Chain A
Amino acid sequence: MHVILTLVRKDIANFLRNRAAVSLTFLVPIALIYIFGWVFGLNQTDSGPSGIPLGVVNASTNPGAAKLVDALRAESAFKVITTYDLPHHATRPLTEADLRPAIRDNQFRFAVVIPEDVVQRDAIGLHLKILSDPRNEIESQTVSGLLQKVIFSNVPELLGQSLQARAQAFLGNTRFTQFNRSLAETIAHNFGGDPAEIQRTIESGSLGLDQATKPAADPSLRRLDNTPAAPAPTPAAGTAATPAKPETKSDYFSKLVKIDQEQVVGKDVKSPMATRLVGGWAIMFLLFAISGSSAAYFDEKNTGLFQRLLSAPVTRAQLLWSRFFYGILLGLVQLITLFLAGRLMYGIDVFGHFGNLLVVCAAAAAACTSFGMFIAAVSPNAQAANGLSTFLVMVMSATGGAWFPLSLMPEFMQRIGKFTVVYWSMEGFAAVLWAGRTFTELLPILGVLAGITTVVMAISIWQLNRKRMFE
């Protein structure tokens, strides 16, 4: 054990002295994780995007439309522009005709037009026009998601009005009024209140949907349902889309709004994307680091270092074990460091399951170490080892899902991916960090990683001995 410790310490000192190796192992992946975080829109802070210029033209006299404009103003993500700049600091209201040239001039990339017929007579739903220059796809998605959120959560009575208008067209005026009146009377009978007031509320399009997402401010507006206000949507441990218990309209709406936030705004810190991004780059650069240190086997053989070590009271087994422990140690430190960086950048919940994370990282590092030994075992020299490892690491990272989700790839590639260390390591990271699996639930993945390690190590040691690496 003392011999192994000395050898591991030596490997660590050797690694730390090699600045290129250190930065390739730690700094480069952190930089890439940061850069790709921007690409995937993970870097937005909790307040989300802010100050995206948004042209707004309101051609409707419907009070709901004015409310919608106010709601857009209130959304910090947008900087709402409703005026057109004239010479001499004068302004006039923005018109629909101004929008297209303005977008072309890049004054803003998004505009909303609320037309006169925002509530249509002949169709259910709202009529809005959204003009955009989608030069930045992520931004377009963010903006359209935010618009949906504002519309759904702030002015649901516009939708109600639309339903009312449709009902009116369908039933005819007399029967429509009758229907609303009997509805209001039924409500007043069951829940109390003034039937005339309720009927007016219904005709204004308020179906109570706004009450579901806002605290009831006006007690005169009675709720149509009798469920308590929806609890604040707290994502239950790990799973994003936990169904709320009673399937009611209010829950349905709060859930809809919440889902929009997660997918579009990318606020969800535990998103599988961040875990995948960090885990993917981490495992790829770990493979590079470890196969690099395995290529150094050839130097150690050629310079007679193995001879020197083995002529001391050191056995081959101790030499191999020391490399194995060193690989695991390097891997653990590197993976944990990168996940900590992921925690700083994207709030990945590293400490929530730290013990399990350590176990998965150790198993992944062991598998990567066996891969490094395999490279040294099957290559005739250091150059070949470097070439082969670069090739294999790239292929394994691509097919194993380190760069993008496996689901984006053709099925046969997904199948290949399942044979890689990368795939199973990523599965392990996702299982711990995203799904919050318990140790017992992790056992299958750990088993696969341990299996890979054992088989690949056995083949490598057999081959290393066969080609007299340690003589």
Chain B
Amino acid sequence: MLSLRSVTKRYGALTALDDVSLDIAPGECFGLLGPNGAGKSTLMSLASGLRSPDAGTLTIAGAPVSPADPSSRTALGLVPQSIALYEELSAEQNLRVFGELYGLHGAKLRARIDEDLEAVQLADRRHDQVKHFSGGMQRRLNLIAALLHRPRLLLCDEPTVGVDPQSRNAIFDYLERLNRGGLTIIYSTHYMEEATRLCSRIAIIDHGRILALGTLDELLTRLPFEEEIGFPATPATDALAAQLGGDGTIVTQEGRHRFQPRADFRLSAFYARAEALGLPPRLFTAARPTLEAVFLHLTGRTLRE
């Protein structure tokens, strides 16, 4: 569906995308996972023809993406990272504008607007000004504004930033339904949970480079360990964490330490140390690692740094 061949994009001295190659198959839900500044939005803007690459080529269904050829963009829907709506206008007025720009009108446009507002539970607020919407409602509207013309490829650039869990679920459910219906989706995010839940394949991107690409399982096999051990961060456990420094990586987040052992480290050694410090075994839970661990393993940093 979308192919990138050795695509490079620079902003002055900064290289935002560095020799990126990708192939996204029709019907895929493809995740772009990376921290802020990784180059996700830049990739989206190249794919939607807003900018031209400095090197390399992009094609959608075999046809080159060109900023000069607007008709090539009807197959494509872009959900911008920010809320790209006219605040003073009502939800319906916004949708009408965007639908008309794609050549929709009359009964067909009305039917699409009704259908999509219903799908994200905004039908009863259709006449309200967008500025009176909550962040989550604006995000939902931001999404369907890119879908009215029924694109074959949907580019979602961090579509859930700052939304309540209810809106997030509404968005996910809708995207999953669309994907099942055959829509190809490229979904960028810095939340690994989102990529894990939605995407069949995920590219981990940082500093404009794709560091790893594959299904969730494929990415996890890149880790030298199969399980990580989590325990609460307290003064008593801090001593243990300090001792483990040479045997693997300790990640401390939200009041918990997570120990990711080196490949040759034996877990029996871990429990022996804990016992020696007088820490009861019930403090420790073994768990399957997440994409966070993959990112950390690849970059030495966490996704939110």
Residues of A near B83 (CB, < 8 A) are: 303-304
Evaluate contact between B97 and A10: CB separation under 8 angstroms. Answer: yes
**Chain A 303-347 interface mask (CB, 8 Å, partner B; 1/0):** 111011111111100000000000000000000000000000000
Residues of B near A6 (CB, < 8 A) are: 97, 100-101
In the assembled complex, how far is the CB of residue B106 from the closest CB belonging to chain A, in whole angstroms?
13
**A121-B50 Cα distance, complex, nearest whole Å:** 93
Smallest CB gap from B48: residue in A = A311
Residues of A near B67 (CB, < 8 A) are: 310
Evaluate contact between B89 and A305: CB separation under 8 angstroms. Answer: no
Size bin of chain B's contact surface? 20 to 34
Q: Given the known inter-chain contacts A10-B86, A13-B89, A308-B84, please indicate yes or no for A314 contacting B70, CB distance below 8 A.
A: yes
Smallest CB gap from A10: residue in B = B97
Evaluate contact between B101 and A471: CB separation under 8 angstroms. Answer: no
Main SS at interface, chain B: loop
Evaluate contact between A313 and B74: CB separation under 8 angstroms. Answer: yes
Question: Is the C-beta of B81 less than 8 angstroms from some C-beta in chain A?
Answer: yes
Main SS at interface, chain A: helix
Question: Is the C-beta of B230 less than 8 angstroms from some C-beta in chain A?
Answer: no
Residues of B near A14 (CB, < 8 A) are: 86, 88-89
**Chain B 69-100 interface mask (CB, 8 Å, partner A; 1/0):** 01101101110111111101100010001101
**A282-B103 Cα distance, complex, nearest whole Å:** 37
Tell which of A3, A13, A18, A304 touches B80, judged by Cβ atoms closer than 8 Å. Answer: A304
**A10-B97 Cα distance, complex, nearest whole Å:** 7
Evaluate contact between B102 and A312: CB separation under 8 angstroms. Answer: yes
**A56-B141 Cα distance, complex, nearest whole Å:** 78
In the assembled complex, how far is the CB of residue B84 from the closest CB belonging to chain A, in whole angstroms?
4
**A40-B234 Cα distance, complex, nearest whole Å:** 81
Question: Is the C-beta of A302 less than 8 angstroms from some C-beta in chain B?
Answer: yes
In the assembled complex, how far is the CB of residue B148 from the closest CB belonging to chain A, in whole angstroms?
10
Residues B88-137 near A (CB distance < 8 A): 88-89, 93, 97-98, 100-103, 129
Residues of A near B150 (CB, < 8 A) are: none
Question: Is the C-beta of A17 less than 8 angstroms from some C-beta in chain B?
Answer: yes
Residues A1-23 near B (CB distance < 8 A): 2-3, 6-7, 9-10, 13-14, 17-18
Evaluate contact between B98 and A303: CB separation under 8 angstroms. Answer: no
Which interface residue of A18, A307, A310, A315 has the most chain B CB atoms within 10 A? A307
**A17-B85 Cα distance, complex, nearest whole Å:** 14
**A245-B82 Cα distance, complex, nearest whole Å:** 74
Question: Is the C-beta of B49 less than 8 angstroms from some C-beta in chain A?
Answer: yes
In the assembled complex, how far is the CB of residue A381 from the closest CB belonging to chain B, in whole angstroms?
16
Evaluate contact between A307 and B102: CB separation under 8 angstroms. Answer: no
Question: Is the C-beta of B196 less than 8 angstroms from some C-beta in chain A?
Answer: no
In the assembled complex, how far is the CB of residue B274 from the closest CB belonging to chain A, in whole angstroms?
50
Evaluate contact between A17 and B89: CB separation under 8 angstroms. Answer: yes
Evaluate contact between B145 and A308: CB separation under 8 angstroms. Answer: yes
**A321-B49 Cα distance, complex, nearest whole Å:** 20
Q: Given the known inter-chain contacts A10-B97, A313-B71, A314-B70, please indicate yes or no for A307 contacting B50, CB distance below 8 A.
A: yes
Evaluate contact between B101 and A18: CB separation under 8 angstroms. Answer: no
Question: Is the C-beta of B207 less than 8 angstroms from some C-beta in chain A?
Answer: no
In the assembled complex, how far is the CB of residue A96 from the closest CB belonging to chain B, in whole angstroms?
69
Tell which of A9, A18, A312 touches B88, judged by Cβ atoms closer than 8 Å. Answer: A18
**15 A-B contacts, Cβ less than 8 Å apart?**
A9-B97, A10-B86, A13-B89, A17-B88, A17-B129, A18-B88, A303-B82, A304-B80, A308-B78, A308-B80, A312-B102, A313-B101, A313-B102, A313-B103, A314-B101
For the complex of A and B, list the 9 residue pairs with the smallest distance between their C-beta atoms, beginning with the closest.
A304-B80, A304-B84, A313-B70, A311-B78, A17-B88, A311-B48, A308-B84, A304-B82, A312-B101
Residue positions of A touching B, CB distance < 8 A: 2-3, 6-7, 9-10, 13-14, 17-18, 302-305, 307-315, 471
